[in-house]
Structure 1
Amino acid sequence: MMDSVSAVADKPVMQICRAEYRAIGRFVEQLRPTRQCMKTLQTQFPHLPPSTLLSIFSQEYQKRMKRSMGRHHAPDVVKAYYQRYRSEAKTRPTAPLLLELANQVDLSPALLARLIVECFLEEREASVPASRHILNNMLREPYFIPDLLLAKHVEQCTVNDCCYGPLVDCIKHAIGLEHEDLLRDKLRERSLSFLAVDGHIVHWIESKASFGDDHSHRTYLNEQFWSYCNRFGPGLVIYWYGFVSELDCQRDRGILLRDGFPSDIVTLCQGPAQSRV
């Protein structure tokens, strides 16, 4: 099982306290989801790995987008975005119009591109609404869009958005599989079926290629971890890009948190595999 958000870490991941996480959250409120924002984050928080900072930023930015989604999706607002784009495309065709507009209205470039393409298709095919399949194909391969200028602007949004869009989705999926394979290989290397970590028996392992913050961990507890405990017994959750240290407070109830595969393990027995990987 796998959830992923950021790039593979190139050095050990640190756990951070809730107060520091909140400080990072306040700082990223001023940033936009461009790849340049990572340089700013690394300068401000040089003690944290880039992959951890990207995961934290992505999660906080997605929360921000969810809070403002209703405002951006209002029909009159969407229409205004589209009309503004079409107008400026006539006078400044070489400018990164959608990227500029996304920054000005504080909306993900990839999400804005989706709204604009939807409007374009509705305008072009007024009698037959475009299917979601056609829309998704155009976002994945912008040059399917029968307007080369719009295709270029949509591609700019896809390439420059580090939180949303088809490119990010592909990266997330690949990173998720990579960490799942890493965990599986480590277990197979040790021929492990049951093990103990820090004196706690582990019957299942859940791999999360993301940073564990309060919101995501609470969601996982309710939707996954407690169910695993009820069905399989105590287990281990690996947040490969770190987690808020105060969240590791459920050990007595059967959930142990780590930011990497543990080295301090004790094999209890060999037998049919019981771990969830």
Structure 2
Amino acid sequence: MDKSDTTKKKILSNVEYARICQFINGFNGGLPMDCELEMVHRFFTDVDPLALSCILQFEIINKARGQHWRQEQRAKNLLKTYEDQCHLYSDNSLLIRMACVEAINPIALCRLLLQEKYDLKQRPQVSRLLKHPYLINDSLLAANVQQCLYSDNQEGSITDLRRRLVGEEYELKLKHLARKAGIHFYDEHDLRRMGYDKTPDIKMILPFLYKGFVVNWIESKANFGDPKSHKLNIQQQLYSYCNRFGPGIIIYWFGYHEETAQLPDNNIGITVLTDFPAREDLVFMQLTEPRAQETAQTLQ
């Protein structure tokens, strides 16, 4: 299930992480997927590709948030540029070319143009057209938007579906490895039937020890754990897990920043890992006393 190369780095130092972010923010050679390919195959070949993909996603989101107001102000000019040039290209690639020149995600550019062209004030209206381009009454624009859907690995319905499936894949991996290790647990569906609202991916029926630390639950994250994202996860999820169930583990399957595991925020009972705990590091509760077992065997 795990498609990453186990020999690649998953835990990154501050220097390594900063170098990757600097490369992403200085990249001007095309689309985000071009940036990802450059990092994976040329510049950071020793780092797990899935870690690089996640860091790219975080940096692009942060950049987009900082430039959103500026891009919205330029929407009218961007739409005029598109309408002036759209008939010059026969391969429906104008929006892709504009996205490269303007250093904007293709789907983000589509969103700006659709908002401006059709005077759409609500985000769900735009999202509907992005998800179903055939609803756009301008056939040439619809074809360009569809091309952007296929070419953007950061936004759009195809990318959202892929990320959701990857998240579900790693939740299944967590459950498979837990059963293989002999752990008995409740999953999210079990806990919700029991009346819990915020639930970890698995909650142990009986706690176990990991390197001397008690573990009551494990949360699966199919992404990279940078300090900022980890602190947000603590605020939104992990704090309530610790408060309700006790200490537990969060697994960032694609790696994490070295400072993430050392944050004082983890002192409430959070252990940060990049993989399922090794079997030799686990200690399980013995429900039956050895003397009682011997007695039972004698009676048989």
In the alignment, does 2:152 pair up with 1:161? Answer: yes
Q: 1:90: Cα distance to partner?
A: 3.0
**For 1:251-262, what aligned pairs fall within 5 Å after superposition?**
252-262=267-277
Conserved? CA contact 1:8–1:51, under 8 Å: no
Structure 1 position 234, deviation (Å): 0.8
| CA–CA distance in structure 2, aligned partners of residues 73 and 248 of structure 1 | 38
Relative to structure 1, the CA distance from residue 147 to residue 67 in structure 2 (aligned partners, 3 Å threshold; closer, same or farther) is: same
Where does 1:101-180 land on structure 2 (aligned, <5 Å)?
101-122=98-119, 135-180=126-171
For the 8 Å contact 2:31–2:99, the answer to whether it is kept is: no
Q: Give aligned-pair identity as a percent.
A: 29
Which one is further off, 47-56 or 136-145? Answer: 136-145
Relative CO higher for 1 or 2, CA cutoff 8 Å, sep ≥ 6? 1
Tell me what 1:85 maps to.
Answer: 82
- 2:197 matched to 1:206? no
TM-score of the aligned structures, taking structure 1 as reference length: 0.84
2:236 aligned partner: 223
Q: Is the 8 A contact 1:233 1:254 kept in 2?
A: yes
The separation in 1 between residues aligned to 2:221 and 2:31, in whole angstroms, is 22
1:185 aligns with 2:183: no
Q: How far did residue 130 of structure 1 move?
A: 8.4
Report the TM-score, using the length of structure 2 for normalisation: 0.78
CA deviations over 1:244-270 (Å, ceiling 9, x no partner): 122212564311000011112222357
Superposition deviation, residue 223 in structure 1: 2.0
Equivalent residue, structure 2, for 1:275: none
Could you give the per-residue CA deviations for residues 190-222 of structure 1, whole angstroms, max 9, x where no partner exists? 233322212111111111110011211121122
Deviation at residue 87 of structure 1 after TM alignment: 0.8
> In 2 relative to 1, CA 33–260 (structure 1 residues): closer, same or farther, beyond 3 Å?
farther
Asked if structure 2 preserves the Cα contact closer than 8 Å seen for 1:203 and 1:232, the reply is: yes
Q: Deviations over 1:130-163 (max 9, x none)?
A: 8755533321232232222111211121111111
Contact 2:223 2:255 (8 Å CA) reproduced = yes
Unaligned 5+ runs, structure 1: 1-6, 123-128, 271-277
Q: Which has the larger radius of gyration?
A: 2
Stretch deviating more after TM superposition (244-253 or 159-168): 244-253
CA contact (8 A) 1:203 1:235 kept: yes
Give the drift of 1:164.
1.1
Q: How many residues are paired up?
A: 256
Contact 1:243 1:259 in 2 (8 A): yes
